[in-house]
Amino acid sequence: MFPRIALLAAALVAPLPPLCAAESPAIDDAAWLQTKGTLIFQDTFDREEEGNGLKAIGNGWESATADRAPQIKQSDLDQGILKILSDGQAAGHGIHIHHDAGFADGGTTLRFRFPGQNKGETLTVGHVDREMKGVHAGHLCYAILSPGSILLRDHKTGISEEKLRARRAEFLARKEPLPADLDTLLKTKEKTVPWTADHEWHDLTLAFEGDEMRLSIDGKVIVAHRSEGFAHPMKRWLSFSAANTVWLDDVKIWQVR
C-alpha cells in the first residue's frame, strides 16, 4: 500500500476525538423545568400588600420576621415588584420570606435585582422542611448570591445537622479552628464560585435533579454541586432572605416527576 493511501485508511478508522467542554451541550434548566415539569406556583406581585404582618405579602407568602418588628416595613409590593429591605438589627433576625413548594426534583425560576441602595446586598434562596427531624429549623439547602461570589450549600447533611452543628458550635464559641475531620467534611457540603454582582435585572434558575443542585443566571449554569442533602424528597418551603435590599419578580416553582 502506498504511504498516502495507508495514512488515509488509518484516518478513516481512527476514533473521533472527544468534544471539549466548550463544545458540550449546555444545560438549560429553565427549559428543562418548563418541558419536563409541572408549574405548581407562580407570582408576579401585581398587587398591594395588606398591612405589615406575617401574611401581608399575600398569595400564600409568609414573612417570618414581620411580627418581630411590626413597626419596620421589610417588604413592599411596588409596581409589580417584591422589594425586600431586611432590618436584622430591629427584628433580631434577618428577613425570612417563604412559600409552600413541595417537590423532590424540580426548581424555581425568578427575576432579581440588587438595586444598589445598600452596601453588601445579598440574596439567599433555598429550601426548608420544618417537618424534618434532626436538622436545625429544617434548613435543607441554600444558594447565597454575594457581591463577589455564589455559594451552594447542603445544610441538611452539613452545618444544620444537629450533631454536626453542636460539635461545630463548641469550636466557634472558643474561637478555635475546626478539627481537620469536621472541616474536611463540611467543605464537601458546599461549593463557591466567583461572580460579580451588578444592579441590573437578571433571570435566576435554581434546579434540583437527584443529589445535584444547579444555579443558572440568564440561562447559563454558574455553579453546580452534588451532595446527598440536595436529594431530600420534600422541599416544602421556598425561602428567601437578604442582608438588606433585593428586588424580586416573576417567581415560578416547578415540580419534575
Cell of residue 173, nine digits: 464559641
Predicted confidence (pLDDT) per residue in 109-121, tens digit: 999 999 999 999 9
194 lies in a domain? yes
Side-chain half-sphere CA neighbours of 182 within 13 A: 16
pLDDT band at 243 (very low <50, low <70, confident <90, very high): very high
pLDDT band at 179 (very low <50, low <70, confident <90, very high): very high
Query: What average pLDDT score do residues 16-45 get?
Result: 77
Which contiguous run of DSSP H or E holds residue 71?
Answer: none
Distance of CA 113 to the CA centre of its chain: 15
10 lies in a domain? no
pLDDT for position 88: 84
C-beta separation of 249 from 80 below 8 A: yes
pLDDT for position 17: 41
Query: What average pLDDT score do residues 153-165 get?
Result: 98
15 lies in a domain? no
Rounded Cα gap, residues 198 and 227, in angstroms: 29
Rounded Cα gap, residues 254 and 152, in angstroms: 19
C-beta separation of 213 from 204 below 8 A: no
Cα 7–Cα 9–Cα 11 angle in degrees, nearest 5: 70
19 lies in a domain? no
pLDDT for position 9: 44
Which contiguous run of DSSP H or E holds residue 184?
Answer: helix 180-187
Smallest Cα–Cα separation from 160: which of 176, 140, 184? Answer: 140
Q: Say if residue 7's pLDDT is above 90.
A: no
Q: Say if residue 19's pLDDT is above 60.
A: no
> For the chain, how many structural domains are there in total?
1
Rounded Cα gap, residues 194 and 13, in angstroms: 43
Instruction: Give φ, ψ of 235 to 5 degrees.
Output: -85, 85
18 lies in a domain? no
Query: What average pLDDT score do residues 6-16 get?
Result: 42
Q: Which residue has the cell 425570612?
A: 96
pLDDT band at 72 (very low <50, low <70, confident <90, very high): confident
Rounded Cα gap, residues 214 and 230, in angstroms: 10
pLDDT for position 89: 83
Q: Say if residue 200's pLDDT is above 90.
A: yes
Query: What average pLDDT score do residues 107-135 get?
Result: 97
Which one has a higher pLDDT value, 248 or 54?
248
45 lies in a domain? yes
173 lies in a domain? yes
pLDDT above 90 covers a percentage of the chain that reads 81
Query: What average pLDDT score do residues 212-237 get?
Result: 98
Rounded Cα gap, residues 155 and 163, in angstroms: 12
pLDDT for position 69: 79
Predicted confidence (pLDDT) per residue in 58-68, tens digit: 999 999 887 77
Average pLDDT, the chain: 90
What range defines the domain where residue 232 resides? 25-256
Which contiguous run of DSSP H or E holds residue 116?
Answer: none
Determine which of 26-40, 66-80, 160-174 has the lowest per-residue pLDDT on average. Answer: 66-80
Predicted confidence (pLDDT) per residue in 164-176, tens digit: 999 999 999 999 9
Work out the angle between the directed axes of helices 180-187 and 162-173 (0-180°, nearest 10): 120
Q: Say if residue 26's pLDDT is above 80.
A: no
CATH for 115: 2.60.120.200
- The count of residues in the chain is 257
pTM: 0.88
140 lies in a domain? yes
pLDDT for position 205: 98
